[in-house]
Amino acid sequence: MRLFKSARAIAGLTVVFVIVILVIAMSLSVGVIITSQLKAVVDTMSLTGQANSTVNSAFTNIFAAFSLSTIIPIIAAAGGIITTVVAAMFFYFRREGS
């Protein structure tokens, strides 16, 4: 494979992994901010009892999902590190064998 023959390609993959992790983290942060502002707007509305309980239940589930999704960048970082290490080892041992 041509990708593993070049150290620049492996370095490029590492940069891409870092960018992806940062984008995921920023997307989660923006999502929490937007959801919080939406909740503030909905709280000012005069809703019936059933509608209010439905909205509160939905926001509770949304915030629970956001709290669980904080591990996504950690998992992505671990996958990127493992991939980079394996690719670097492959590149190193392929070069040593030549």
Which pLDDT tens digit goes with each residue over 28-42? Answer: 889 889 988 988 888
Q: How far apart are CA 73 and CA 70, in angstroms?
A: 7
Q: Percent helix, strand and coil across the chain, each rounded to 5? A: 90, 0, 10
Q: Are 7 and 85 in contact (CB under 8 A)?
A: no
Two tokens, residue 46: 């005069």
pLDDT of 98 > 60? The answer is no
Name the domain count of the chain: 1
Q: Give the pLDDT of residue 96.
A: 66
Residue 14 has a pLDDT of: 76
Rounded Cα gap, residues 80 and 7, in angstroms: 16
Question: pLDDT higher for 3 or 50?
Answer: 50
Please state, in angstroms and rounded to a whole number, the distance separating the CA atoms of residues 22 and 77. 10
Q: What angle do CA 30, 32, 38 make, to 5 degrees?
A: 105
Range of the domain at 66: 3-97
The pLDDT assigned to 3 comes to 56
Which tokens belong to 16? 């891409």
